[in-house]
Amino acid sequence: MTQAIYILEGARRLPRADILINNKLPGLLSDFSSTQLGGLAIEGTLAHTQLDPALVGHVVMGMAQHSHRDSIYGAQGMRWRGGLAQDVPALTVARICGSGAESISVAAELMLAGLRHDKARPFVVAGGAESMQYPFSLYNYRGREVGGGVQKYGPVDPKQLPAGVMLQDMLLMSLYDPGAGMAMANTAEELGRRYGVTRDEADAFGLRSHQNAKAARDAGWFDEEIVPVTLKGGALEAEPQLLKHDTHIIEEASMAKMSQLRPAFEMGGIITAGNASAVVDGAAAMVLGLERDVQEHSAQPLARIAGFGVAACDPQIMGWGPVPATELALKSAGISGADIDHVELNEAFAPQAIACIRDFEGLGINPERVNPMGNAIALGHPLGATGSILTVTCAHALKRTGGRYGLVTMCIGGGQGISLVLERA
């Protein structure tokens, strides 16, 4: 009989912070690299998990893109920054937007396969982190003479770059899929056209996300899952600030305000800054354990991983990926959509989410159970961290509400989807 895999009590995430304040000033988490964010999430999780950290034998963390000089070290950097010993190995997982969910699957499979499972240290930390402070990259410079304003292994003075050398924004470059021949936002516009989603429907969905997120924050529902982050104080600040809440939620959102926003990606399109996911920095972590190890070490389980599903689809409608992935996850869990009490669907773009929710109904999933606490439109989508963040949120929501089954699902750039089913412990 296959052993159950549990997420332990203590799973935590960081507040999600916009990469820019008012699209001008550096975001509140802009001073932190992805490895630092992941380290903070691991540290916070271990502090809240009633388990000896010496029992952790592996770390698996998702990360979609390199954003800082230390990003190449990925999960290894997050491991030591999180306070785990030097003899604990770490693996970085990259399935683009699904990396944070894939890390949970990989961690579970490491334990279930048993080939590398450490019986003396049987628990695994899983999660994801992403600093969306992606740099500008220098192209067409390799092999050229290094001038006075350019250091081969250091800073570059753009004013002294020779003709033909280009600086390109890694954030914008990453959001364009050459396989689909379009940017991620345009794939959502295409999906909206195929499903007949109107601008009013997209705006209403965006409004719902902000209103639900604000209500959840004000009710204190996010407090149980968030580890506050101490920010570096400025010269005029007597004490460092403490970031406790997600920063993108619009306090006074309304349809009137939503309707005034211009299409952001296509002439006559329906996606705007108000109904697309926010670009934020974030991270989350959790400790996973086999049922026998949870029992042997008297650990407190939060949720059982009941099922997984990964699927692929036409990259021109990449946002539809959660539908076939969810079908697989429900089958894996041995339940129907009607059994799902809480859904965390990543809102990459409103028309994409609406299309998925319509098809979820065909699987028996109640639309009212989808994102009752808001999601990425109001809270943000830090690529490689999102899957683990939504898993933490879903597990805590099941505990708070008494629901039995929860679904975590998201689309993946390039035409994939990933889903996992949780059962409250």
Catalytic positions, please? Answer: 97, 411
Cβ–Cβ under 8 Å, residues 90 and 60:
yes
How many CA atoms lie within 13 Å of 202's alpha carbon, on the beta-carbon side?
28
Whether 141 contacts 157, CB under 8 Å: no
- 8 A C-beta contact, residue 130 and residue 283: yes
305 forms beta bridges with 422
User: How many H-runs (helices) and E-runs (strands) does the chain carry?
Assistant: 12, 19
Q: Which residues contact 103 (CB under 8 A, 6 or more apart)?
A: 60, 61, 62, 93, 126, 127, 128, 387, 388
d(CA 67, CA 19) in angstroms, rounded, equals 12
- Who's near 187: CB < 8 A, 6+ residues apart? 177, 180, 315, 316, 317, 318, 319, 352
What is the DSSP secondary-structure string of 353-389?
A: HHHHHHHHHHTT--GGGB-TT--HHHH---HHHHHHH
The whole-angstrom distance between residue 227's C-alpha and the CA centroid of its chain comes to 16
